[in-house]
Structure 1
Amino acid sequence: MTAELRPVAGEREYPRLLQVWRSSVEATHDFLTPADVEFFAERVPAYFPAVDLTVAVVDGAVAGFSGVADGDLSMLFVHADYRGEGIGSALLRKAFAQFPQLTVDVNEQNSQAVGFYLHHGFVVAGRSEFDSEGRPFPLLHLKRA
């Protein structure tokens, strides 16, 4: 599947990005309760302006997106309908092209994401007991090998 990668089309696209985020999280973050998902869903749109957003479009539909800030991959989410189609890899390659020493934090309990990043050449550089919101969801700090 070929995706067109482009910059986000401004705030008007944020609701669709939130839909992609929710679909991705519900498919991969089985350690979160529905209340946890709602907690984060209320906060996610506030993060969008703080990162350089890239959108992956397939047949006119937003299939995924990534956000990079200062060489750190702050977010990469693929809608559940497009998982396994190379969308995440395409977004990651674009981020690598901009930042060869890219770093990323990933929920330790999200084994699918951990495997994805390790497969793409990341190694564990550290660990935090809590996420960036101070919640008890351990993070692995990854860097390129």
Structure 2
Amino acid sequence: MNVLLRQAHPTDAGRTGDILHGFTRDNDWMPNLHSGAETIAFCGTMIARGWVTVAESDGQVAGFLARDGALIHSLYMSRGLRGQGIGARLLAQAKAQSDRLELFAFQANPGAARFYLREGFVEAARSDGRGNDENLPDIKFVWSREARET
């Protein structure tokens, strides 16, 4: 599979929003707090801020990573393209551009936890969910270049 990583364009908001909203629809433990249109608008805001890198396969957005400095806000793939190394490629690019990264994953998503641990992140903290919009318990993961080099 040929995958191109590129900075998101404003016209990518619809597809990235569909991917993000699709994750909510695909997981019954995830509360549906926003409409599809609101999710697209949110992705448009992240794109306008310059946070979003998309992975494009066969001319279509297959997934995306949204990062503000060291904080990864979102890393999502299209349902049919999960588990094919695209998320790892997006993370590798973010690692190449930063000495430290951090993110939160929901405890109800053990696949994400396994993925981040496999990609060199370490668990730094757990919460009961009071600090996130979804009110779901989460895990803070941290990656640092320094920790990987020692």
Matched, 1:128 2:124: no
Residues 63/5 of structure 1: CA separation in 2 closer, same or farther (3 Å cut): same
Give the aligned partner of residue 109 of structure 1. 108
Matched, 1:45 2:32: no
Structure 2: 5+ residue stretches without partners: none
Output the CA distance in 1 between the equivalents of 2:122 and 2:67: 18
RMSD, aligned CA: 2.0
Does the 8 Å CA contact 1:51/1:74 hold for their aligned counterparts? Answer: no
- How far apart are residue 38 of structure 1 and its match? 4.5
Q: Secondary structure at the match of 2:100?
A: coil
Deviations 1:7-60 (A, max 9, x none): 0112x2211111111234444x3412xxx2253753563252446100000000
Structure 1: 5+ residue stretches without partners: none
Aligned with 2:29 (options 28, 31, 43): 31
Instruction: Give the aligned length.
Output: 139
Give the aligned partner of residue 7 of structure 1. 7
% identity of equivalent residues? 29
**TM-score normalised over the length of structure 1:** 0.85
Residues 43/20 of structure 1: CA separation in 2 closer, same or farther (3 Å cut): closer
